[in-house]
Chain A
């Protein structure tokens, strides 16, 4: 049995760790609330974008934009959104695991993949993986600005327009609620019409100055909006996952301290008993 002093130092060190994890839990909780607000604030734009693009796709266009046309797949691109920092449970790893299994279908057909990483963890992971990273953005902070994403997204969009990639996916953690975050992989390009869209109409918009220019800008903004939404969703997921992970860590530290306290008490009791019996033994000898 370990000596009393060692156990006491151990308990103190665990208590210090617990203080840190508890503080991180509280920080994550307050950051999560802000991240959630940001997520809700970004929703109207993304929704409006979706509905406008749905109208455009359904309208009888004189000009077919490449973003809306399905073509044969020779190479695919992924935009991977992860967190910058760790200590958030299995959040990033779950996403990467899902990605790997999704990537297998392309790999099996000898198709190559380009990656665009957002967040430090994704960059590190795919770097180690030896993947072809074409662009990256890290350290977006707690309040990611859309400006930080423009360049990164443009690289992949240009690659798509130039025919270097024929399909573009975005992968991020979807914020369901503070206990559940699910990794999702969505196809960005070519645009897949969602099920609820049944706008069948024959009219077309009036385009100013002309349909090509307007659609170019509109569809670029559309992709940017979707990626931005992914980033804010992932941000909220990160904070939620961190909160849960830190809560678990604090609880575990509590259990550990409780057990060590028992051991310590036993050791102390044993020491006292031993001392007493020594005294009694000594007195009897005299």
Chain B
């Protein structure tokens, strides 16, 4: 029996996979890494790509991640994957948005509930548009 390593793939919203594998491949930031059992402890950032699990005599299992963190312990591999598309500038935009929302909320004291809600929805739509533009630029 070949040596195996325990693999957990989790995202903030749900657990994606938990099981064992003989070999794990992950898209680390500086190139794909292959992790065999008894690998030295390591932490690395992941970029968007596939996490592949090899098991002897079985078909390869493939999971897509849009980024995240990979933690390696000698017998455990943990993939903390992001569900959302993340980039520093998108995060920045979201932060500005949240700030602006707070300022707006303080500014219009007399505005009623419906108006505030409509405004929040508008702000959300604007943020999404910005994100989309950015994604297009990247491609």
Contact = CB atoms under 8 A, between A and B. Distances in A.
Given A48-B8, A52-B71, A151-B95, A214 B120 contact: no
A138 interface: yes
A15 interface: no
The B contact surface, by secondary structure, is mixed
A176 interface: no
Nearest to B109: A127
Which of A116, A151, A154 has the most chain B CB within a 10 Å cutoff?
A151
Contact of A133 (B12, B69, B105, B121): B105
Interface residues of A, number: 45
A42 B30 contact: no
A220 to B, nearest CB: 8
A134 interface: yes
Contact of A158 (B12, B44, B95, B101): B95
Interface residues of B, number: 47
A178 interface: no
A151 B15 CA distance: 24
20 contacts: A44-B18, A45-B13, A45-B80, A48-B78, A52-B43, A52-B69, A52-B78, A133-B102, A134-B102, A135-B102, A139-B121, A146-B13, A146-B83, A147-B94, A150-B91, A151-B93, A154-B92, A155-B99, A205-B41, A209-B30
Given A206-B41, A218-B80, 13 more contacts: A52-B80, A55-B71, A56-B43, A134-B102, A135-B99, A136-B98, A137-B101, A145-B13, A150-B84, A207-B44, A209-B44, A214-B43, A224-B12
